[in-house]
Structure 1
Amino acid sequence: MKPKKSWWVLFVVSLGVVIPFSAPYFTLDPAYSRVKFSSTAIQFPLLVTHIITACVALLTGFLQFIDRFRIKKPKVHRYLGRVYVGSVFISGLIALVYFFYVEDLSKATSFLALSLLWLFTCWKGYRTAVRRDFDEHRKWMIRSFAVTLVAVSGRIIVPILLLMVFLLNGFSLPGDIKATVDEMLKFNIWIGIIVNFIIVEWIILKPIG
């Protein structure tokens, strides 16, 4: 597709959300982690690998839909596609393992659902490309990238929910802000999944179908 202003706005917003979250983990120092560990020897390397490969998937995912690569340079598009698929599978499989380290059940199930959706949609996108069914390939890769972008939308949703709670409670929070944010982090992924798929299925893919 021809990059529109909205596409570049999404790209910049995504970087603005992901970079501050990911940057501490690129130091490879567990002291800067926002996640508490029961065993840094196992959990921290898994988390860092998951985050790095997810960032690679995000960047290559954006490039997949640009005509300069997709149409004019198909070899580059295929190479970027392989990097995207490989990154998703590494990051997604690690997320499945990491599921067992998440203590909160609601958070754990949301990560599990997100990981399974990510792996499934990416696998379908890959298989349709192998079968040279490029129409279905494009649709499944759009779905896959929508799941990738939950890493962005899920974090944007938190301050929006916080603002809503603030307004609904007469310009005050019902409790401690950290406790309120922690509560929102139990279901922000679910909202991100729902919002992203509504946008993809009813706004993007429905006109194509």
Structure 2
Amino acid sequence: MTLVAEPRPRPEVRRRRPFWRKPWIIPLGAVVLAFLAFSIPPYTTLDPALARVPVPADSSVYYPALLAHIVFGAVAMVSGFCQVWPWFRGRYKKAHRVLGRVYVFGGVLPSGVAAFVVGTMSPFGPVGRVSLVLLSVAWVGSTVMGYLKARKKSYAEHRIWMIRSYTLTLSTITNRIWGPVCSIVLTPHLDTMFGGSEVALLYSVAGITNWLGWVLPLLVVELWLQRRRGARAR
């Protein structure tokens, strides 16, 4: 009697969704491009007087560090966008690896070091300085962790750390949102809450803005990551 082996079922092939089926990717790209188009031009003249933040007159390091932070930060924004774009990441794997190195070594690391220098000399008060310094440390730290996870081929953990890293990369955009909000809320209390001191008002607005700019997005992303983990476990 001849036994006939039953044909093995073919593994189900998961089709990749086209890029336009990811509704968040186009708005995210538009926001990144608009932010860069608005932020970079004043620094192309290399004139400290045109900087969008006050440049301390007694420091010869602040403005070069600010320029380095902005230039390398722009590299991180653009290359990081390609990294979190599922369609690009799945279709162009070699480019994903190359741009990943650009993001780490040509973007976040030099920009993060420059951000640390800028943070220690920020003209927006001690509360804002602490926030900027911690942000630069968290930004560089999460990026290094993501890179090391990729080297160890722990790609799931690599993706999680890089999501955190890019969230911190984009925190400079959310920082610009909170600034006007805090200013509108606190300015009417200039004479009461701040005793008429515009400096105290400026420090308070900058301090709150700097902390909310990166802590709140990172908290939202952490909650989303935990929710995904729980869903996968179930």
TM-score, normalising length: structure 2: 0.77
Displacement of 1:79: 0.9
Q: What are the Cα deviations for residues 105-129 of structure 1, in whole angstroms up to 9, with x where unaligned?
A: 1111011110010011000100000
Residues 47-58 of structure 1: pairs in structure 2 closer than 5 A: 47-58=66-77
Displacement of 1:182: 5.0
Residues 50-199 of structure 1: pairs in structure 2 closer than 5 A: 50-86=69-105, 87-103=107-123, 104-165=125-186, 173-175=188-190, 180=201, 182-199=203-220
**Maintained 8 Å contact 1:18/1:151:** no
Please tell me whether residue 7 in structure 1 is matched to residue 25 in structure 2: yes
Moved over 4 A (4+): 163-166, 178-182
Please tell me whether residue 16 in structure 1 is matched to residue 34 in structure 2: yes
Q: Residue type matched to 1:92 in 2?
A: G
Residues 23-38 of structure 1: pairs in structure 2 closer than 5 A: 23-33=41-51, 34-38=53-57
Q: Residue type matched to 1:108 in 2?
A: R
**Maintained 8 Å contact 1:18/1:152:** no
1:43 corresponding residue in structure 2? 62
**Maintained 8 Å contact 1:154/1:191:** yes
Q: What are the Cα deviations for residues 143-173 of structure 1, in whole angstroms up to 9, with x where unaligned?
A: 001111110111111223344457xxxxxx2
Alpha-carbon RMSD: 2.4
Displacement of 1:10: 2.6
SS of 2:55's equivalent?
Answer: coil
Q: Name the CA distance, whole Å, in 2 between partners of 1:16 and 1:129.
A: 31
Q: What are the Cα deviations for residues 8-37 of structure 1, in whole angstroms up to 9, with x where unaligned?
A: 213322333443233211221122123222
Aligned-residue sequence identity (percent) comes to 30
**Maintained 8 Å contact 2:128/2:203:** no
Displacement of 1:44: 1.6
Matched length: 203
| More relative contact order, 1 or 2 (CA 8 Å, 6+ apart) | 1
Q: Name the CA distance, whole Å, in 2 between partners of 1:102 and 1:93.
A: 14
SS of 2:91's equivalent?
Answer: coil
More helix by share: 1
Q: Residue type matched to 1:94 in 2?
A: A
Q: Name the CA distance, whole Å, in 1 between partners of 2:165 and 2:154.
A: 16
Displacement of 1:136: 0.5
Question: For structure 1, which segment, 2-11 or 76-85, has the greater mean C-alpha deviation from structure 2 after superposition?
Answer: 2-11
Please tell me whether residue 202 in structure 1 is matched to residue 223 in structure 2: yes
Q: Name the CA distance, whole Å, in 2 between partners of 1:181 and 1:38.
A: 18
Larger radius of gyration: 2
Q: What are the Cα deviations for residues 27-59 of structure 1, in whole angstroms up to 9, with x where unaligned?
A: 211221232223564322211011110111011
TM-score, normalising length: structure 1: 0.85
Displacement of 1:192: 1.9
